[in-house]
Structure 1
């Protein structure tokens, strides 16, 4: 053997990820498309889905009570402040919604609090029903009527 001969070339490194690492894209195709179309509820976040419940309920109530067109509906995460302050129910409970009357030419506003409602309702159907019930109660307070006058199906199981 000749000692002046160069050493044999090193074998090329293996292609792909290091040995032992797993790849999800084994065939190199990647994700072919979204898992669900954008209009399907699975692709909506929890807050977007909740806003849809409020929008659907609001539209149902506006069809029956056209004066609600001049009312703003909003969704907040949680109520500001702490129990015992104005705007909180007596007895230390957490409000699920709130009516803010109109000020100097502005619009009245009904606010629904998302997190307290989600905690109380376990399924999507329960959540949608609870949102509608809360909106009925807030609209009744705003208009000075009973909830049964706002929606005859109020408080039916």
Structure 2
């Protein structure tokens, strides 16, 4: 037997429909009110890129106004001899990091004692070095070591 159609009294916004389904009220966080919100790997990746960029901005005034972005992956990822992990736009003073190729590269190195944060930081250092026309170990002597 078909259900009778309900007529909405007031139009609802699409956001409210997604959050207030079946008239049960707004959803609460999964962790509850007493625990911190969950952090995902996406959040950790973004935080690592942002903190490394902030560190480098403090050392190099030339980075003032440079935009650091994170994207899932490049449009044309695979080239003849390499896979892009970041793209530097010199004219726009913008660097875009591609999360998926960097994370996949980390999984290839899983047998070694490498941490994800170290690999992401080294990608940021190399991209900034490309933007400034320097070598990565010149950006912060003692922090980034090529060996």
| TM-score by shorter chain over 0.5 | yes
Please tell me whether residue 94 in structure 1 is matched to residue 79 in structure 2. no
> 4+ residue runs of structure 1 moved beyond 4 angstroms?
none
Q: Name stretches of at least 5 consecutive residues in structure 1 with no aligned partner.
A: 1-30, 85-89
Is the CA contact (8 Å cut-off) linking 1:96 and 1:112 kept in structure 2?
Answer: yes
Q: Name stretches of at least 5 consecutive residues in structure 2 with no aligned partner.
A: 1-29
What SS does structure 2 have at the residue aligned with 1:75?
A: strand
Structure number having the greater helix percentage: 2
Q: Which residue of the partner structure matches residue 102 of structure 2?
A: 117
Please tell me whether residue 143 in structure 1 is matched to residue 128 in structure 2. no
Q: How many residues align?
A: 112
Q: Which residue of the partner structure matches residue 11 of structure 1?
A: none
Q: CA deviation at 1:82?
A: 4.4
d(CA) in 2 for partners of 1:32, 1:115 = 27
Q: CA deviation at 1:120?
A: 2.1
Q: TM-score, normalised by structure 1?
A: 0.62
**Do the aligned partners of residues 36 and 55 (structure 1) sit closer, same or farther apart at CA in structure 2, a change above 3 Å counting?**
same
Cα RMSD (Å): 2.4
Q: TM-score, normalised by structure 2?
A: 0.66
What SS does structure 2 have at the residue aligned with 1:154?
A: coil
